[in-house]
Each structure stands twice: as structure tokens, then as C-alpha cells.
């Protein structure tokens, strides 16, 4: 949106990101630098608190290090390892069928494009974009509830759905900011710009926000 200064906002968010708790998938990426584990943890994280995702990922990665390890586990065994993540039974099914789909579609490799990733079980555009950005360090815009809500709260975009937000952000967000936009806004949304009662009085970018004066 004309008039919204994204560059200074982005610089502040990048600085503040170091002070906040890192989102769980960013943490998995930093610890493992493994696209497979980034993919799996992103699937687990949907509608699940970070601490629950982190604990489930830790349990799972004690016995799973690559897709072939998932293939050796029963769906029930996977379910026991990842419980109590949200929709754990569905996610256990996704993970159980993942190795077969990877073999059939991509020769066992983790694909690095959104268009390919969404062909995998349990992977939508949000998950695919995050895997591309974090797992492969390629530009991609992952739009979750934080990105959609905060980008609209700022007045940077004006959209009704996450898909509309992704498409609009692709048009106006500088390419150099794509890879970490989700990570910075998730941390910002979890720690400061919360859905209810955002801590505007403590916000380091309040002067840029459309909410100011409302």
C-alpha cells in the first residue's frame, strides 16, 4: 500500500527477532538444516502450539531421520509419537504415506517448489511456502494467521483471506524480504502484536501502523 514504509519496519523486525522466542520450525531448521525435518515439523505445527510441536518433533526424530524411517513405522506408532499435536491421527496418516508419495512423484527427494510440494499429503500452500523458504533458503511467502492479520493491521495490504494476502504480498513485498517475512511476523505476533490486546505501547514500529489513532 502506498505510504507504508516496509523497509524500516523490516529492519526493526529483524533486530527484534533475535530477542524473541524463535518459531518452532525456524528452530528445527537452525538445528538440523534438513528440508525433510522442516517439512515434517511444518506438517506437525498446523493448529498446534509451538511447545507441543517441538516436543512431538523431538520424540519423532529420535527414531526418524529420513523418509525411509517413516516407512518402517506403522501409522499407529507415528500417532503415538506425535500425540497430542492437533489432528494427530490425520497427521500420522500423512506422515505414514509421505515416503511412498515421495518415491512415486519425486524419486524420494524433498521437492523445492511450492507447485511440487502441494502434491504431498498434508501439504497446502502455507506449508509448501514455509518449506521452500526455510528448508531450501529460497524466496517464498508463507502466509499464516499472523502474516495475514498483521499485514492487514498495519495497512500494508487489505485482504480477506490468507490466499489473497499471499497474492498481494507477492506483488508488493520486495523480493529480498520474502524468505524471512513469515518468521519475523510470527515472532512479532506471538510476542507483541497479539490478536487481542496487542501491546501497542511497547511496539517499536507503532508509528508505521495503521492501527495508531484508531
Options 1.25.40.10, 1.10.260.40, 3.20.20.70, 1.10.1670.10; CATH of 6-20+141-208: 1.10.1670.10
Regions of the chain with pLDDT less than 50: 1-2, 213-214
pLDDT digits (tens, 9 = 90+) for 103-124: 999 999 999 999 999 999 999 9
pLDDT at 3: 60
Identical fold for domains 6-20+141-208 and 24-135, yes or no, is no
Query: Residue 176 corresponds to which cell in the numbers above?
Result: 529480498
pLDDT at 29: 94
* Rounded Cα distance, 92 and 62, in Å: 16
Nearest of 19, 25, 58, 40 to residue 133 by alpha carbon: 25
pLDDT at 211: 67
pLDDT at 210: 77
Hey, is 30 helix, strand or coil?
Answer: helix
- CATH code of the domain made up of 24-135: 1.10.340.30
Task: Kindly list the domain boundaries of the chain, sorted by start residue.
Answer: 6-20+141-208, 24-135
CA-to-CA dists, residue 46 to 144, 149, 154, 163, 197, angstroms: 10, 17, 25, 16, 24
pLDDT at 209: 85
Q: What pTM was computed for the model? A: 0.91
pLDDT at 92: 98
* Rounded Cα distance, 42 and 126, in Å: 9
Tell me the torsion sign for CA atoms 123, 27, 84, 144.
negative
pLDDT at 1: 47
Amino acid at each position: 500500500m502506498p505510504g507504508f514504509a516496509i523497509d524500516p519496519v523490516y529492519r526493526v523486525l529483524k533486530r527484534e527477532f533475535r530477542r524473541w522466542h524463535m518459531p518452532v520450525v525456524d528452530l528445527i531448521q537452525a538445528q538440523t538444516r534438513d528440508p525433510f525435518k522442516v517439512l515434517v515439523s511444518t506438517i506437525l505445527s498446523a493448529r498446534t502450539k509451538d511447545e507441543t510441536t517441538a516436543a512431538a518433533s523431538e520424540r519423532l526424530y529420535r527414531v526418524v531421520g529420513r523418509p525411509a524411517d517413516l516407512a518402517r513405522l506403522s501409522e499407529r506408532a507415528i500417532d503415538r509419537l506425535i500425540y497430542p499435536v492437533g489432528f494427530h491421527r490425520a497427521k500420522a496418516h500423512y506422515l505414514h504415506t509421505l515416503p511412498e508419495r515421495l518415491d512415486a512423484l519425486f524419486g524420494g527427494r524433498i521437492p523445492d517448489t511450492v507447485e511440487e510440494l502441494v502434491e504431498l499429503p498434508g501439504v497446502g500452500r502455507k506449508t509448501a511456502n514455509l518449506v521452500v523458504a526455510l528448508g531450501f533458503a529460497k524466496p517464498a511467502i508463507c502466509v499464516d494467521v499472523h502474516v495475514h492479520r498483521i499485514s492487514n493491521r498495519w495497512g500494508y495490504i487489505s485482504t480477506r483471506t490468507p490466499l489473497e494476502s499471499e497474492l498481494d504480498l507477492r506483488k508488493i513485498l520486495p523480493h529480498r524480504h520474502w524468505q524471512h517475512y513469515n518468521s519475523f511476523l510470527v515472532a512479532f505476533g506471538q510476542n507483541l502484536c497479539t490478536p487481542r490486546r496487542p501491546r501497542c505501547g511497547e511496539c517499536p514500529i507503532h508509528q508505521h501502523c495503521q492501527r495508531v489513532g484508531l
